[in-house]
Structure 1
Amino acid sequence: MTKNLDLHAQGTWLPICVGLLLFLYALFMPKKEIGWREFYITFGIIGYFAWIGDSLFGKMLDLVDFGNPHITGIGEFISYSLIPSSLSVIFLNYFKKTNKWILVIIFTIIATLVEWGMRKVGYIKPHGWSFFFSIPLYFVVFSFFLPLHRKFINCKS
Structure 2
Amino acid sequence: MQSFIKNLDIHAQGLWLAIVISLILFIYALLMPKKEISWRDFYITFGIIGFFAWLSDSVFGKMLDIVDFGNPKITGIGEFFSYSLIPSSLAVIYLNYFKRENKWILAIVFTIISTLIEWGMIKVGYMKTHGWGFFVSIPFYFVIFLLILPLHKKIIKCKS
| TM-score normalised according to structure 1 size | 0.99
- Matching of residue 42 in structure 1 with residue 45 in structure 2: yes
- Structure 1 position 68, deviation (Å): 0.1
Q: Give, as a single letter, the amino acid of the residue that structure 2 aligns with 1:39.
A: F
Query: What is the rounded CA distance, in whole Å, between the counterparts of 2:76 and 2:55 in structure 1?
Result: 17
Structure 1 equivalent of residue 135 of structure 2: 132
Structure 2 equivalent of residue 12 of structure 1: 15
Structure 2 equivalent of residue 100 of structure 1: 103
Structure 2 equivalent of residue 84 of structure 1: 87
Structure 2 equivalent of residue 74 of structure 1: 77
Query: How big is each residue's C-alpha offset from its partner over 1:93-132, in whole Å with a ceiling of 9 and x where there is no partner?
Result: 0000011100000000000000000000000010011123
Q: Give, as a single letter, the amino acid of the residue that structure 2 aligns with 1:95.
A: F
Q: Give, as a single letter, the amino acid of the residue that structure 2 aligns with 1:141.
A: I
Query: What is the rounded CA distance, in whole Å, between the counterparts of 2:28 and 2:57 in structure 1?
Result: 24
Q: How many residues of Structure 1 are paired with residues of Structure 2 in the alignment? A: 157
Q: Give, as a single letter, the amino acid of the residue that structure 2 aligns with 1:106.
A: V
- Matching of residue 23 in structure 1 with residue 26 in structure 2: yes
Query: What is the rounded CA distance, in whole Å, between the counterparts of 2:158 and 2:104 in structure 1?
Result: 23
Query: How big is each residue's C-alpha offset from its partner over 1:78-99, in whole Å with a ceiling of 9 and x where there is no partner?
Result: 1111000000000000000011
Query: What is the rounded CA distance, in whole Å, between the counterparts of 1:24 and 1:97 in structure 2?
Result: 26
| TM-score normalised according to structure 2 size | 0.97
CA-based RMSD = 0.5
Query: What is the rounded CA distance, in whole Å, between the counterparts of 2:72 and 2:43 in structure 1?
Result: 30
| Consecutive aligned runs of 4 or more in structure 1 exceeding 3 Å deviation | none
SS at match of 1:8: coil
SS at match of 1:65: strand
SS at match of 1:125: strand
Which runs of no fewer than 5 residues in structure 2 stay unpaired? none
Structure 2 equivalent of residue 142 of structure 1: 145
